[in-house]
């Protein structure tokens, strides 16, 4: 399998890696079989987390005898020194190893949390101490808000960054990937098959919220057969300036589909480039969440995310369906303006919401 350099870590990682979240749903023998199949088919980057059920334990059981041929990245969701030290020790045990390749601060989605984790009493200090002791080689960070991750990357403390990136979730391309490149930080892309609609779906074959669902518009965009849609979605992410893309894998079939896409990847065709390129203009919501909460409980980011799906990507019926599933729609906006003063992109949110409601309520 093709490998790419993971930024300044200089590790060579498989272009498709293993997202370990979903193996926690499998029995131990099934999970071991899936992870081992991935290794046998050329995957060498395995991503897991203490918070992902017993995923670490299963990855440890599957890979302990080939440990040195793999790059294992896990995460600590703790924000303080003491708690993250406990996380770290238990992760080593569960993964059946005496050293990690990468320890990542897990799910840093706002600046306050980032500041806490990076403070003198924060979890970053534990990671650095572990690195001094030779228990881990590199330190990474994960999150869903590219704007926050840019700050982390610019701090110089992190060697890798893990962020959602897929055909319809492209915020990371705007500022984060250029910042990572400038600082030689390795980028791993997660959630390549989900649209980050309302939940954090990472599994290949989730119905309804995923890029591989049966929505007719998605079939037109990515391919009629499920496998074709998976391949198309992975190919798009591989075409970006990232080192590895890690779909959540939980079956032998999924592993085979993902590795086949990687094996066959040799850049996007001219037709794919045309089909998968979209114009955003200036006024689009980056989903940073800074405008929330709204006193009327409108999930502004979700409404505008669906509006982007509709207007930028042309996935109108899907967007309407998703919008119809929101508990509070944009019609209840009072125009108070609280959100607009908080938006870092100075978006005219109230008028955008009105337009979004009008468009997504049209029959």
| Cα-to-chain-centroid distance, residue 325 | 23
Piece of the chain touching ligand SF4 by CB under 6 A; list 107-115, 132-140, 274-282, 332-340: 332-340
Residue 345 as a binder of ligand SF4 (CB under 6 A): the answer is: yes
Return the H-helix or E-strand segment holding 78: none
Among 309, 339, 356, 360, binds ligand SF4 (CB under 6 A): 339
Structure tokens at 314: 């042309």
Residue 5's DSSP bridge partners are: 12
Residue 70 as a binder of ligand SF4 (CB under 6 A): the answer is: no
Residue 343 as a binder of ligand SF4 (CB under 6 A): the answer is: yes
- b/e string for 72-98 if b means 16 or more Cβ within 10 A? bbbbbbbbebeebbebbeebbebbbbe
| Cα-to-chain-centroid distance, residue 57 | 22
Among 55, 289, 356, 360, binds ligand SF4 (CB under 6 A): 289
Residue 105 as a binder of ligand SF4 (CB under 6 A): the answer is: no
Q: How far apart are CA 73 and CA 159, in angstroms?
A: 12
Q: Are 255 and 247 in contact (CB under 8 A)?
A: no
Piece of the chain touching ligand SF4 by CB under 6 A; list 102-110, 157-165, 243-251, 287-295: 287-295
Q: How far apart are CA 215 and CA 65, in angstroms?
A: 42
Piece of the chain touching ligand SF4 by CB under 6 A; list 70-78, 88-96, 261-269, 346-354: 346-354
Shortest reach from residue 291's CB to ligand SF4, in Å = 3
Sign, Cα dihedral of 182, 282, 113, 116:
positive
Shortest reach from residue 109's CB to ligand SF4, in Å = 12
Among 301, 309, 356, 360, binds ligand SF4 (CB under 6 A): 301
Pick the closer one to ligand SF4 by CB: 325 or 335. 335
Residues that bind ligand SF4 (CB under 6 A): 285-291, 294-296, 298, 300-301, 304, 333-339, 342-343, 345, 347, 349-350, 353
């Amino acid at each position: 399998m093709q490998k790419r350099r993971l930024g300044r870590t200089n590790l060579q990682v498989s272009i498709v890696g293993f997202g370990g979240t979903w193996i926690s749903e499998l029995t131990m023998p099934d999970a071991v079989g899936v992870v081992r199949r991935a290794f046998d088919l050329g995957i060498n980057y395995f991503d897991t987390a203490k918070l992902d059920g017993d995923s670490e334990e299963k990855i440890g059981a599957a890979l302990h005898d080939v440990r040195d041929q793999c790059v294992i990245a896990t995460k600590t969701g703790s924000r303080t020194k003491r708690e993250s030290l406990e996380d770290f020790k238990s992760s080593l045990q569960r993964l059946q190893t005496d050293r990690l390749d990468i320890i990542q601060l897990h799910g840093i989605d706002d600046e306050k949390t980032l500041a806490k984790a990076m403070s003198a009493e924060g979890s970053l200090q534990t990671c650095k101490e572990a690195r001094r002791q030779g228990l881990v080689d590199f330190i990474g960070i994960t999150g869903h808000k590219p704007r926050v991750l840019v700050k982390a990357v610019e701090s110089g403390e992190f060697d890798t960054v893990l962020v959602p990136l897929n055909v319809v979730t492209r915020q990371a391309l705007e500022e984060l990937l250029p910042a990572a490149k400038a600082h030689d930080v390795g980028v791993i892309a997660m959630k390549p098959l989900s649209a980050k609609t309302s939940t954090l779906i990472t599994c290949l074959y989730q119905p309804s919220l995923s890029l591989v669902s049966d929505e007719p518009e998605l079939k037109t965009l990515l391919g009629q057969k499920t496998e074709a849609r998976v391949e198309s979605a992975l190919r798009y992410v591989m075409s970006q300036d990232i080192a590895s893309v890690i779909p959540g894998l939980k079956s032998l079939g999924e592993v085979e589909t993902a590795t086949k896409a990687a094996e066959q990847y040799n850049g996007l065709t001219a037709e794919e480039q045309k089909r998968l390129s979209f114009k955003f203009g200036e006024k689009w919501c980056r989903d940073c969440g800074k405008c929330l909460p709204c006193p009327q409980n409108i999930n502004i980011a979700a409404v505008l995310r669906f509006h982007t799906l509709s207007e930028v990507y042309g996935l109108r019926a899907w967007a309407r369906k998703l919008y119809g599933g929101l508990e509070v729609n944009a019609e209840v906006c009072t125009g108070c303006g609280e959100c607009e003063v908080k938006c870092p992109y100075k978006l005219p949110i109230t008028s955008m919401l009105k337009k979004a409601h009008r468009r997504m309520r049209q029959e």
